[in-house]
Amino acid sequence: MASGWAPAFTAVPRTAFLPDLMWPHDASAGRAVAVDKNADPAAWYGYADSDVPIVTQWDDGNHTGTEPGKNFTSSSSMPSVVFSMLADLDVRAGHRVLEIGTGTGWNAGLLAHRVGEENVVSVEVDPAVSEAARAALRRLGYGSLRVITGDGLLGHPPRAPYDRVIATCGLRSGLYPWVEQTAPGGIIVAPWGTYYTYTEATARLVVAEDGRSASGHFTRPVNFMRMRSQRLVRPEHSHYVPAQGTGDAEKSTTTVSEAEFLTGDLGVEAFAVGLQVPDCTHVPDRKQAGRRPVWFYGLTDMSWAVVIFRDGRDTATVYQSGRRRLWDEVEAAFRWWQDQGRPGFHRFGLTVTADRQIPWLDAPANVLETQKTPGEQGFSVVSEGGLEPPRPIKGTSTSS
């Protein structure tokens, strides 16, 4: 194993942090399945040793029984994802590390083995989850590792500055307190994305020498449970679209095809569109009888749009309503991504300052300017010193 993590993975086994009843993802079933260690230890250990995500809590703990709950709210990530993020973190012996999202405690234990338990602080918002993690860490001899129950967005200032910060939950905003608590030259690794899609990418940010910003490329696509304070409550369709259907919405067509537009949960095109179309989320419907609508909802107003793909047709029908023309924004962003040579995740990056999250392509100077409201010029990639700086990408936060 690269980066010298093999001894840690041997000394700190995943099995030591998993509950007797857990819900691993079963590839053949395509969903989470209940596995009880006491009833079927062979299956339990088989899944625990596999490269699969394992749900350890449903519905913020308000769940009983063996059947899966409605929403998974704590888990043990795939070992390959854990390793890749630790490799991005480039942690060294003696580094002071802040972890956001303790979960089972396994990641914190791996860090403690590498840098010393006295150098690790982990913050977990859920009291029951944090207590279970403390107990597991104590059993492995890491009782001095500090597991703080609290809001991870605040970090943990009493132990700052940190050399490394790692988050194990999906973020949409709010990284700057971690920048302030990280030493110049330190590294922050966090899954980051937009409300347009569930697709996230691991941001690897290096804190500037003046400590007032952090910047870096994305490394790979990931999909994490969102930080609880940043969960998106899906818009009620009926609040946007009139009961009689499309009503007085503006009708048009597009030549964008379903095959090129919808390529899967970790598609880079959705990530790229989300970087440029703020305050918008999209919901693809299930295909029925060769017809598939994809809906777009504004998060700061009641604008909405739908594109209706049909098998065997060269064009799709579009309806748009409200102050924004959401499909026009989305299509322009999508076409821009195609024109740029369909850049992958690693070509995009992010700069975080006190009041902005600034996405860019290839280099921090090439800022991705977000879509404008009707009547204004569309987006482009611009260089510093050129056009007026773009609006920050904002997210709609909802309390859990």
Three-class SS state of 322: coil
In degrees and rounded to multiples of 5, residue 354 shows phi and psi of -60, -30
Which residue is associated with the tokens 């049909």?
A: 310
Q: Where are the alpha helices (DSSP H) in the chain?
A: 6-11, 41-48, 79-89, 106-115, 127-139, 176-180, 237-240, 258-261, 268-276, 326-339
CB count in 10 Å sphere of residue 53 = 20
Which residue is associated with the tokens 């023309």?
A: 325
The rounded distance, in Å, linking the Cα atoms of 368 and 350 is: 10
User: In angstroms, how far is the first alpha carbon of the chain from the final one?
Assistant: 38
Go through the domains of the chain in sequence order and give each one's CATH number: 2-168 (3.40.50.150), 237-339 (3.30.160)
Q: pLDDT 10s per residue in the chain (400 long)?
A: 456 899 999 999 999 999 999 999 988 888 899 999 999 999 999 999 999 999 999 999 999 999 999 999 999 999 999 999 999 999 999 999 999 999 999 999 999 999 999 999 999 999 999 999 999 999 999 999 999 999 999 999 999 999 999 999 999 999 999 999 999 999 999 999 999 999 999 999 999 999 999 999 999 999 999 999 999 887 789 999 988 777 789 999 999 999 999 987 678 999 999 999 999 999 999 999 999 999 999 999 999 999 999 999 999 999 999 999 999 999 999 999 999 999 999 999 999 999 999 999 999 999 997 754 443 333 333 333 222 222 222 222 222 2
The rounded distance, in Å, linking the Cα atoms of 223 and 78 is: 11
Q: Which entry of 74, 75, 76, 77 is annotated as an active-site residue?
A: 77
DSSP 90-157: T--TT--EEEE--TTSHHHHHHHHHH-GGGEEEEES-HHHHHHHHHHHHHTT-TTSEEEES-GGG--G
Amino acid at 163: D
Pairing of strands 146-149, 120-124: parallel
303 included as an active-site residue = no
Whether the full predicted model's pTM is greater than 0.85, yes or no, is yes
